[in-house]
Structure 1
């Protein structure tokens, strides 16, 4: 019989990549993690790790063990959900990660609804971009992630995660000053010589923004980079840059800058929630998703 704690360490190594990262996440020393994995190798009777430079990677046999560990942990999460469902009072802690605009526009109202309906449920929120939050969800750092998917740039769909659509969020061209009416592509081209503010390289938003501009026939002069969408708004307001802004940034208030529609097929991003497979039936996850849907329709 394999030791479940050691199996979880092996799974953590697959998702986090290094012994040091596993140790830091679980508050162990790297030597303790290494020792426990050596004991697991003895239990398995086969090598589970092989050196690659100064790091290690899982052997094919280790990958088999991790796959079975995922199945076991999924069943344990279902058991936890069943126990929580059997109780009359919802308690415990729900760990949520959200990107900025959803955190600004949807989460405060959702948290109010959850506090009023389930005062003993503790909701802990971390603002984090989906590129980091979704892998962290797989690594069990979070219970639920609010994420985004840009048009023409679909996310990977790990089998270990379950997604549920929350809403579509319109995306618009934000101009540093009002311009004469023009078609979507003409409006973009009219800003070809303007400075732009975009999210940093490596983000889905940046990839989508660059592709949109290139399809319109120009290479944008990205003079400002930030994950802070409010900084984008301020730069446009002060006439320093053009930007591509989602409607959620206005939190239901009137826009403070001139906006133009984008070309067909590029006009909206998909907002969704993600949980680990087997976790969607947990009452805390269900009430959080319900609160987010209600918040989305609040005035």
Structure 2
């Protein structure tokens, strides 16, 4: 006999897969903890399969639960494609659209993107959140966001989930940054700074993994005296003569460099990546936002070239 699948309960199981706890699912869905637990129990009863098992004080999906979620993902992707087709047929770019991204993109690209979208698509209500990329990608898959702009550093894996479509918007060079008025100002290579104090992003982050790898390739382990995810803090510490750093070109969209910059080898870059749920790439709203992002990246590249050309040798 064919099983009957309740899409609402299947969504709860998928939410649990991505959010990790029933408490987190309940908060996100505005349900009580007991209501979510009850619905998942009903789902197990309806399907005649154990979908969850204890994992300490939490629960995790069984092998059967994982299989079921993979099929749920496929169904939801197809529904997203249907929504995109309907929106294209209507020919309108409207409604709520949620974007998550990180600091330098917020500062360097998003003002231009928001201005362009407001002029071209006034009925599109764009919401922007400054968010941790990994958390944002998880939120993308459970529809907290419609688009995430992330960063992928040279040598790091690209696609993080088959449920996500990714497109490179811009290749952002990273450069060695040294204080302008110090003995370090003449340093031309990473190896010249083996004994310097560094400011880097926190340990465990993709940016830190990349930076550590660059220094190891130059033959040393960096003396990291300052840690922060904020690139403006990095720039300020370098400018003040307290540290050296790796800084991205996107910092210089609207201002000339205030530190001495040196090029890095071929792996000295990060890709700015647009991520959307699989099945939504052709949605009119997604296409409108992606187009605005690409235009902003092109404008930023021209501005950065101008700012760097004015830097003294």
Please state whether the residue corresponding to 2:193 is helix, strand or coil. coil
Pair 1:110-2:103 in alignment: no
Please state whether the residue corresponding to 1:22 is helix, strand or coil. helix
Match of 1:249 among 243, 248, 251: 251
Task: Provide the rounded CA distance (Å) in 1 between the counterparts of 2:200 and 2:122.
Answer: 39
Query: 3-12 vs 251-260, which deviates more?
Result: 251-260
Spell out the pairing of 1:8-47 with structure 2 (5 A cutoff). 8-47=11-50
Shift of 1:181: 5.1
Cα shift readout 1:16-66 (whole Å, capped 9, x = no counterpart) = 111111112222221111011011111111111111211111112212221
Please state whether the residue corresponding to 1:269 is helix, strand or coil. strand
Shift of 1:133: 1.7
- Which residue of the partner structure matches residue 286 of structure 2? 285
Shift of 1:132: 2.1
Task: Provide the rounded CA distance (Å) in 1 between the counterparts of 2:274 and 2:110.
Answer: 12
Task: Provide the rounded CA distance (Å) in 2 between the counterparts of 1:160 and 1:146.
Answer: 16
Spell out the pairing of 1:173-184 with structure 2 (5 A cutoff). 173-177=176-180, 179=184, 183=188
The root-mean-square deviation of aligned C-alpha atoms, in Å, is 1.5
- Which residue of the partner structure matches residue 67 of structure 2? 64
Task: Provide the rounded CA distance (Å) in 2 between the counterparts of 1:131 and 1:79.
Answer: 27
Shift of 1:180: 6.2
Task: Provide the rounded CA distance (Å) in 2 between the counterparts of 1:173 and 1:154.
Answer: 23
TM (normalized to structure 1)? 0.94
Task: Provide the rounded CA distance (Å) in 2 between the counterparts of 1:109 and 1:207.
Answer: 31
- Which residue of the partner structure matches residue 297 of structure 1? 298
- Inter-CA distance 100–284: structure 2 relative to 1 (3 Å threshold): same
Cα shift readout 1:224-268 (whole Å, capped 9, x = no counterpart) = 1111111111111111111100000112432111001112x2221
Match of 1:159 among 158, 162, 176: 162
Q: Where in structure 1 are there 5+ consecutive unaligned residues?
A: none
- Which residue of the partner structure matches residue 79 of structure 1? 82
Pair 1:150-2:153 in alignment: yes
- Which residue of the partner structure matches residue 170 of structure 1? 173
Shift of 1:279: 0.8
Q: Note if contact 1:100-1:129 (Cα within 8 Å) is conserved in structure 2.
A: no
Shift of 1:182: 5.7
Task: Provide the rounded CA distance (Å) in 2 between the counterparts of 1:227 and 1:180.
Answer: 24
Q: Note if contact 1:196-1:221 (Cα within 8 Å) is conserved in structure 2.
A: yes
Match of 1:223 among 213, 222, 225: 225
TM (normalized to structure 2)? 0.90
Q: Note if contact 2:92-2:284 (Cα within 8 Å) is conserved in structure 1.
A: no
Task: Provide the rounded CA distance (Å) in 2 between the counterparts of 1:108 and 1:121.
Answer: 15
Task: Provide the rounded CA distance (Å) in 2 between the counterparts of 1:206 and 1:180.
Answer: 23
Please state whether the residue corresponding to 2:137 is helix, strand or coil. helix
Q: Note if contact 2:178-2:185 (Cα within 8 Å) is conserved in structure 1.
A: no
- Inter-CA distance 171–222: structure 2 relative to 1 (3 Å threshold): same
Q: Where in structure 2 are there 5+ consecutive unaligned residues?
A: 304-313
Shift of 1:165: 1.2
Task: Provide the rounded CA distance (Å) in 2 between the counterparts of 1:23 and 1:233.
Answer: 41
